[in-house]
Structures are given as C-alpha cells and as structure tokens.
Amino acid sequence: MTALSVSTSSAATLRADALVIGVAKGSKGLVVASGAEAVTEAFDGKLAEVLTTLGATGAEGEAVKLPTTSGLKAPLVLAVGLGEAVEGGYEAEALRRAAGVAARTLAGAKKAALALPAESAEEIEAVALGGLLGSYSFGTYKGAGSGKEPVGELVVLAARKGSKDAKAAVERATALGEEMNRARDLINTAPNDLNPKSFAAIAQAAGKEHGLKVEVLDEKALTKGGFGGLMGVGVGSANPPRLVKIAYTHPKARATLAFVGKGITYDSGGISLKPAGHNETMKCDMSGAAAVFAAVVAAKRLGLAVNVTGWLALAENMPSGSATRPGDVLRMYGGKTVEVLNTDAEGRLVLADAIVRAGEENPDVIVDVATLTGAMVLALGNRTFGVMANDDELRDRLHATAGAVGEQSWPMPLPAELRKGMTDTTVADLANMGERMGGGLVAGLFLKEFVAEGIDWAHLDIAGPAFNEGGPFGYTPKGGTASAVRTLVRFAEDTAGA
C-alpha cells in the first residue's frame, strides 16, 4: 500500500519522481494555486504560460505533465486541475479530487510530492486522503507485471512549519483512507471468494487486530434465534448466512450508534432470478456491510469518544431446490411475518432482522446502509445516495454530514400512502414488495416497520454510488468505491464531539 507522509521541506529541494502542483481557471486564464511557489520560481514566473501552451486550462480532472529544467530536484512536474480559481482557499473536495487524479496519473512512480494548497489541517487532510484513495488499485487476481504498481510513496508538502496538526491530519487521513481501501477490496473480491463465512472471518481477524469485540451468529444460531429474514434469503445457497456484530466502545462515550449494513455477497435474485445484464456486478451487494465494517474500524483507529456497533447482515441470494419461493411466508426476528412476493427484494429481509436485533440494545440512533434498490439509481443516478429517516432532522443531518465530507446525497421522503401496497395484498403482516412506483421509498417504508418505538433511524440507499461501472474519476476508482464510509465516520465524530 502507498505510504503517506507529511513534510515541510521546500518543493525545490525534495527528491521525488514527480512534483504535483494545482492549477485553476482564473478570469484571465490559467492560475497556479498556492503551494507551488518554488516551482513558479524555477520556471522564472512563466509556469502558467508554459502550462497554457501545453493545453492546461485548470479544469477539474485535468492532468498535464512537463519536465523540469533547473532549480528543482524532481524531474517532472504534474499540474492537476482544481476547477474555477477561488480566493481564500479551495474546497476540501476539490483538493481531494485533484490529489486523487495526481495519484492515479503517477501510478508506476516510486515517490511523488504533493505541492497542492495545504495550509490548514483540513486542507492537509484532504490532500492526503485524496492521494491515498487515488492510489488504490485492486490487483488480487492480476498476474505480476500486468499493470502499473500504485505510486509507492506520497509526501504531502505542508506550509505549516513542524506543526503537530499537520502530522495528526495525515494520520487521520491514513486511518480513513486505509479502511476505505479495505472496504473497496472486499467489494471487488470475487463472490466465489467472499461469502458470508469468509466475510465474518475477516471481521473476526480485524476485531483481533484492533481490539474490537466481534460476535458471529452462524446458520444454526440464526435458525435457533428465529432470524427468519437472514435464513429465508440464505437458505437457497451452499454458503449459509451470518450475522456479525462488531463493537467499538469508548470509556467516555455518551452516545451509542448502531450501523447496520446490507451484506449480500452475491445477489442472483434467487428464484425471481435476475436476467443476464443485471447480475454481473452483484458482488457489490455487500457494499453496505463493507462500509459499516470500515466505519467501525476507522472509529476505533481515530479513538472517537462514542460507542459504535456495526451489524453486518451477510447472506448469499441464490436459486436452488432449497431456496425461498415467491409466496413463502417468513417469520422475522421479533415475530413479524413477511410474505415474500419477489425473492430479489432480499436486502430488506436481511436488514429487517438486523435492525430489530440492533434495536434490542437501545442505541441512540440506527443508520442502515444498503445497495437496496434499482429505483434509487433511476431517481438519483450513479453518484448520489438517497437518505431516508423516521425523523426529518436526522435525515437532514445525515445529508449535511455527507455534503461536509464530499459525498453526494439527497433527502428522500417516506410517504405514508406507499405503505398500503405492502400490507393490503398479503396473507402475512407485510409483503416484501409494494407499488412499483417509488420503489426506493417503498423499501425504506418496509425497513421502518422494523425500527423499535422511540429509536431514531436513518436509511442510506447507496445502490447508485457503491460501485463505479464507468471510468475512474477524481479519487474514485472503477469498481467498489467505499460509498458512505466517510459519512458514517463523520457522523460518529460529530456525535462524539457534540
């Protein structure tokens, strides 16, 4: 993995394979952002001119290379675009994306120095995190030499002299970035290697490593405990389900958060089989559980003064002679009955069990994260997750939290009239399907039924942003993205600080 450090050396004297600077679109053409003063000087003040000649405009996503002449130890300068030039500091997200583009462009290099605007601790952290996330690559199944290695070492050049804050900022970015990259690895791992059992084992190992309490319920315990949702989904697979509890506690905590993740390690649709073209990426259907797992470990590594319990609802949704049929009725954990009308609406079944179980421990808030519905992708596209809640204030708070860490989200309603479609047509308390219109909200309303009285609950439907099927952009690679991790961690940080 890419090593990250901070240095207050001058960009001119630092030995590296490349020196990264920021450029932006000014009203009178290209401008060079702060942090690159030594580079501007080495080019006799003509750096903006030279870069313009090479075609640089400062647009976001742009990366322009130029060789250095004298005055700089690094042989190469890489100018990355920050978008529109701004006075008084760039947005953290612009810095994260620019650093991400730089790290991706410099794959294969041993060492790169980032001379981007980085004065405040927040800016330093953004540059460091963008760099670490941008250097991610998933090489598990590729032969040696089949692609460029990620950049070996990233040095963030910080303006603050010897500042403790700068070091702490880079350490924070390292903890968060490494856990996000670990979540990406889990999402990208082929579903013949990552199943409920192996995922649970990985959580157990992480628990040992970081001193977190991990409890795993296997299929026997789930059957005995009456977890009809998890069992109903997992019963058709040769890889039986698991419910994992991973708990971080802090002695000074004044609040307890429960994070619940959908962990379908493969979603074939079950007997309501998905057609070809809809199942190739369904290894990503455990992205919610991966996000929750990463967030709990990150909370521990950051030492947040809050208790965070992660619940990973793990199952594989497969068709077989033992699989749940459309028409079957499941008795869920807690006693509610659900008629399964479509076995492809499985996420809500495993989550319902986990939400009831999480509620038994009386947390202050439950937040579930799930690649739950195609309808949410139709509504919000590939980069934005939907936020629903049984409390408007909590919904708006999570939306604001996401915005503050650079994750795109949008608040969605839970209209009461959509509930009818799930209750009127069934022989059970509830069906797992309702009206087709507003399918993402129907799924949210289903989950809401399982939240204990008096508990604030929010639901993040990350079906769009969890898995990037397009080309890489900013610090986001192709494949698993680790969507919602930063939102969960910031939410925990804010709770700890409040």
Cα 237 from Cα 316, distance rounded (Å):
6
Specify the 3-state DSSP secondary structure of 31. strand
| 348 in catalytic set | yes
Distances (CA, A) of 316 to 91, 155, 188, 242: 41, 42, 16, 10
Catalytic residue among 348, 357, 397, 486: 348
Rounded least distance, CB 256 to Zn ion, Å: 28
- Stretch of 10-18, 86-94, 162-170, 369-377 contacting ligand BES, by CB under 6 A: 369-377
Exactly one of 373, 401, 468, 483 binds ligand BES (CB under 6 A); which one?
A: 373
Binding mask 262-281 for ligand BES (x = CB under 6 A): -----x--------------
Bridge partner list, 242: 314
Ranked by CB distance to Mn ion, the top (closest) residue is 344
Q: Does residue number 324 form part of the binding site for ligand BES (CB under 6 A)? A: no
HSE value, Cβ hemisphere, 13 Å, CA-based, for 488: 38
Site for ligand BES in 326-365 (CB under 6 A): 342, 344-347
Q: Give, as ranges, the residues between 245 and 284 that touch Zn ion (CB under 5 A).
A: 264, 267
When asked if residue 285 is in the footprint of Zn ion (CB under 5 A), the reply is: yes
Alpha-carbon distance 369 to 260, whole Å? 6
Angle between helices 196-210 and 287-302 (to 10 degrees): 0
Given the residues 111, 274, 331, 336, select the one marked as catalytic. 274
Does residue 126 contact residue 170 with C-beta atoms inside 8 Å?
A: no
Tokens of 204: 């157990």
Interface region with ligand BES, contact rule CB under 6 A, candidates 68-76, 356-364, 367-375, 409-417: 367-375
> Phi and psi dihedrals of 425, rounded to 5?
-100, 15
List 101, 116, 202, 377, residue binding ligand BES (CB under 6 A): 377
- Binding partner selected for residue 123 from Zn ion, ligand BES, Mn ion, none, CB under the kind-specific 5 to 8 Å limit: none
CA–CA dist 163, 278 (Å, integer):
51
State the number of binding residues for Mn ion (CB under 5 A).
Answer: 3
344 near Mn ion, rule: CB under 5 A: yes
* Contacting Mn ion within 233-272 (CB under 5 A): 267
Q: Which two tokens stand for residue 247?
A: 């708990």
Residue 213, beta-bridge partner list: 247
447 binds ligand BES, rule: CB under 6 A: no
Q: The tokens of 13 are what?
A: 């004297």
Is 274 in the active site? Answer: yes
Smallest gap from residue 395 Cβ to ligand BES (A): 21
| Owner of token pair 């990233």 | 154
Alpha-carbon span 89 to 33, nearest angstrom: 9
Q: Name the phi and psi angles at 329, rounded to 5.
A: -115, 130
Residue placing its CB nearer to Zn ion in the complex, 22 or 261: 261
Pairing of strands 3-7, 153-157: parallel
State the number of binding residues for Zn ion (CB under 5 A): 4
Site string for Mn ion, 298-337 (x = CB under 5 A): ----------------------------------------
CB burial of residue 84 (10 Å; 0-12, 13-18, 19+)? middle
Asked whether position 440 contacts Zn ion by CB under 5 A, the answer is no
Among 35, 191, 439, 465, binds ligand BES (CB under 6 A): 439
First and final C-alpha spacing in the chain: 34
**Distance in Å, CB of 482 to Zn ion, minimum:** 18
Q: Which spans of this chain sit near Mn ion (rule: CB under 5 A)? A: 267, 344, 346
The residues that are catalytic are 274, 348
Q: Which spans of this chain sit near ligand BES (rule: CB under 6 A)? A: 267, 285, 342, 344-347, 371, 373-375, 377, 433, 439, 463
